[in-house]
Amino acid sequence: MAKRAIVTGITGQDGSYLAELLLDKGYEVTGVVRRLSASNFWRIEHLLDRITLRPADLLDQLSLIRVVQDVRPHEFYNLAAMSFVPASWDQPLLTGDFNSQGVTRVLEAIRQVDTGIRIYQASSSEMYGRVREVPQTELTPFYPRSPYGVSKVFGHYITVNYRESYGIFAVSGILFNHESPRRGIEFVTRKVTDGVARIKLGLADSLGLGNLEACRDWGFAGDYVRAMWLMLQQDTADDYVIATGVSHSVRQLVESAFSHAGLDWQKYVKTDPAFLRPAEVDHLIGDASKARKVLGWEPEVSFDKLVAMMVDADLERLSGQTRRVGAVR
Ligand code: NAP
Ligand code: F7E
């Protein structure tokens, strides 16, 4: 009998890669989508005839209970969230409702319907914020620096708490930044690769960015969803850091992306204070030794390959577009 999985956030970057992976493994995949006035299925268009979509919302407890009751999944991947850090200062309450209480609602739905369902919670390296230790491990204390980071700390600990209180197989993956051609265009990697492609094709003549000195441990999303699945296949539920162990600055990202397209970044990049944050996370670098040892997980795509893949994808997407359009803000 095929295993059944529910994926919240299936329309997002990670949801689309995870759905592909689960389908390849023979799962029946149900994706949770919230009602919008226009569809946003561009990342899962190619999967629509192989997955089932069900309406539910992290803000609506009954909708979550209903979908869990109807599908009776073996595994539940909670990827849905308000995931853009700057927006969390604009909407701190809504961010908490999605990313903190939303997790509680998902866990409650599982507790009420069937405590045998295994659940993955999408935790984040943003929980480390002003880092207490370098590199960061599962034991590094948290010090979040944004309402987003704070909301994810709650989501992390409520997951641990439901595991310890009710014996639910609930795991939390502390994932460092992971990117792909499907990354939302407002995140810095995609903003840069989209900007490079526009400049190369004559569609834009500059790119405005914020803090070029911030450093991140960037990996490929396709590698990271494999780790999510592995976490739910273990004998015991536990939490894992998923990272490459290599960190680069935004400046290095910019250099790599522009030089891949044969451009000198210094001619085009302008710093713009509008993109600075009220509190910054300066430097993240993860130690995924536990995941390597216990899960046998290894990242396969290097930073340079990732940047090249994203620049090439944006060049391909935009080539043929002749109208001059503004850079992404
Ligand atoms: P993403 O592309 O922004 O996707 C977020 C998804 O959540 C979208 O499908 C979105 O649906 C859905 N969603 C938002 N609010 C919802 C609600 N109230 N009810 C139902 N669905 C809702 O994010 P991602 O990069 O794939 O990340 C997936 C998860 O991993 C998120 O929880 C994120 O915080 C976490 N994370 C990401 C990274 C990273 O580097 N990518 C690292 C660590 C942790 P719509 O399409 O309708 O907006
Ligand atoms: O910023 C700097 C910015 O928005 C990375 C989310 O998936 O990963 C992501 O959060 C860095 C920051 O990602 C611009 O100040 C400079 O230091 O791509 P980002 P993020 O904030 O690290 C974590 C792990 C998550 O969990 C989140 O959901 O880049 N930066 N100039 C800029 N960032 C943006 N967005 N735009 C700029 O112009």
Domains (range + CATH), the chain: 4-179+219-242 (3.40.50.720), 188-216+246-284+300-319 (3.90.25.10)
**Rg (the chain; Cα; Å):** 20
Measured in Å, residue 187 CA sits from the centre of ligand 2 at 6
Residues with CB under 6 A from ligand 1: 8-9, 11-15, 32, 34, 36, 40, 57-59, 79-83, 98, 122, 124, 175, 177-178, 184
Measured in Å, residue 275 CA sits from the centre of ligand 2 at 10
Q: What does the mean pLDDT of the chain come to?
A: 97
| Residue 89 near ligand 2, beta carbon < 6 Å | no
Q: What percent of the chain has pLDDT over 90?
A: 96
- SS3 of the chain: the string is CCCEEEEECCCCHHHHHHHHHHHHCCCEEEEEECCCCCCCCCCCHHHCCCCEEEECCCCCHHHHHHHHHHHCCCEEEECCCCCCHHHHHHCHHHHHHHHHHHHHHHHHHHHHHCCCCEEEEEEEHHHCCCCCCCCECCCCCCCCCCHHHHHHHHHHHHHHHHHHHHCCCEEEEEECCEECCCCCCCCHHHHHHHHHHHHHCCCCCCEEECCCCCEECCEEHHHHHHHHHHHHCCCCCCCEEECCCCCEEHHHHHHHHHHHCCCCHHHCEEECHHHCCCCCCCECCECCHHHHHHHCCCCCCCHHHHHHHHHHHHHHHHCCCCCCCCCCC
Q: Among residues 124, 125, 146, 247, which one is catalytic?
A: 124
pLDDT, one tens digit per residue, over 166-180 is 999 999 999 999 999
> How much is the pLDDT for 326?
46
| Residue 191 near ligand 2, beta carbon < 6 Å | yes
Measured in Å, residue 178 CA sits from the centre of ligand 2 at 11
> How much is the pLDDT for 322?
56
Q: Among residues 77, 148, 162, 240, which one is catalytic?
A: 148
126 as an active site residue: the answer is: yes
Measured in Å, residue 6 CA sits from the centre of ligand 1 at 14
> How much is the pLDDT for 321?
76
pLDDT, one tens digit per residue, over 195-207 is 999 999 999 999 9
Chain centroid to CA 180:
10
Taking the model in full, what pTM does it have?
0.97
* Residues of the chain under the 50 pLDDT cut: 324-329
Which of the listed residues 79, 98, 185, 240 should we mutate to test ligand 1's pocket, taking the one with most ligand atoms within 8 A of CB? Answer: 79
